[in-house]
């Protein structure tokens, strides 16, 4: 099956973009992020799409971006945290080298509470994150070939483990 060498899924702030960049470098390939693809196509940041057009519109753009990237990109691909909500996306991911990056709620709040704008975690981040994860955990599990924890690990160490579990060559 042609397509990305690695596809990273998992909640916002878990480090998909950072780890994706490191992995791409190790594999001598490029990395792509569906949030960036959506922002580029819309001509504005994801947070603004949520405000101006709403989540549903964002999800439609995201489904198209995921479809294009999964079928047209052969490097490392990071998906937005909510991409797995779409049944058609989960179907598209079946049988592919999908890795779920994980962390606990305390770590999630530390990483997402105060930094870049995240439209889904504006009020009471801890409770919102728990709720999102309850809804999404089974969806992540459905698509993931492997699960890698990011707790107490540097992005480099996370990248190493991903290469190990997918049995990809390290450089």
81 touches ligand S3P (CB under 6 A): yes
Contact 17, 78 (CB under 8 A): yes
DSSP for 54-75, please give it. Answer: -HHHHHHHHHHHHHHHHHH--S
User: What is the token pair recorded at 44?
Assistant: 């504005």
12 touches ligand S3P (CB under 6 A): yes
Count of residues of this chain found to bind ligand S3P when the rule CB under 6 A is applied? 10
What's the angle, vertex CA 27, arms to CA 23 and CA 33, rounded to 5? Answer: 45
Contact 76, 20 (CB under 8 A): yes
Contact 38, 53 (CB under 8 A): no
C-alpha distances in Å from residue 85, one per residue of 39, 106, 141, 165: 19, 23, 12, 25
Q: Minimum Å distance from CB 56 to ligand S3P?
A: 12
Q: Minimum Å distance from CB 43 to ligand S3P?
A: 16
120 touches ligand S3P (CB under 6 A): yes
Q: Minimum Å distance from CB 96 to ligand S3P?
A: 18
82 touches ligand S3P (CB under 6 A): yes
Contact 146, 5 (CB under 8 A): no
User: What is the token pair recorded at 65?
Assistant: 């971006």
Q: Pattern of binders to ligand S3P over 34-53, x per CB under 6 A?
A: -x----------x-------
97 touches ligand S3P (CB under 6 A): no
User: What is the token pair recorded at 105?
Assistant: 């709620």
Please say which residue, 28 or 43, places its beta carbon nearer to ligand S3P. Answer: 43
- The footprint of ligand S3P on residues 61-80 (CB under 6 A) is 80
26 touches ligand S3P (CB under 6 A): no
Q: Minimum Å distance from CB 103 to ligand S3P?
A: 12
Residues of the shown chain interacting with ligand S3P in the complex, contacts defined by CB under 6 A: 12, 16, 35, 46, 80-82, 118-120
């Amino acid at each position: 099956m042609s397509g990305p060498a690695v596809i990273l899924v998992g909640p916002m702030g878990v480090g998909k973009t950072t780890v994706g960049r490191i992995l791409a470098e190790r594999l001598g390939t490029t990395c792509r992020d569906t949030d960036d693809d959506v922002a580029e196509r819309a001509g504005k940041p994801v947070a603004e799409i949520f405000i101006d057009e709403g989540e549903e519109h964002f999800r439609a753009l995201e489904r198209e971006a995921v479809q294009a990237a999964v079928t047209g990109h052969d490097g490392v691909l990071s998906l937005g945290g909510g991409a797995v909500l779409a049944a058609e996306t989960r179907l598209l991911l079946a049988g592919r080298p999908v890795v779920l990056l994980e962390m606990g709620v305390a770590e999630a709040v530390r990483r997402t509470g105060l930094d870049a704008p995240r439209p889904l975690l504006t009020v009471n981040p801890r409770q919102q994150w728990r709720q999102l994860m309850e809804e999404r955990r089974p969806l992540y599990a459905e698509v993931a070939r492997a699960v890698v924890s990011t707790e107490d690990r540097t992005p480099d160490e996370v990248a190493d483990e991903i290469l190990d579990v997918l049995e990809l060559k390290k450089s």
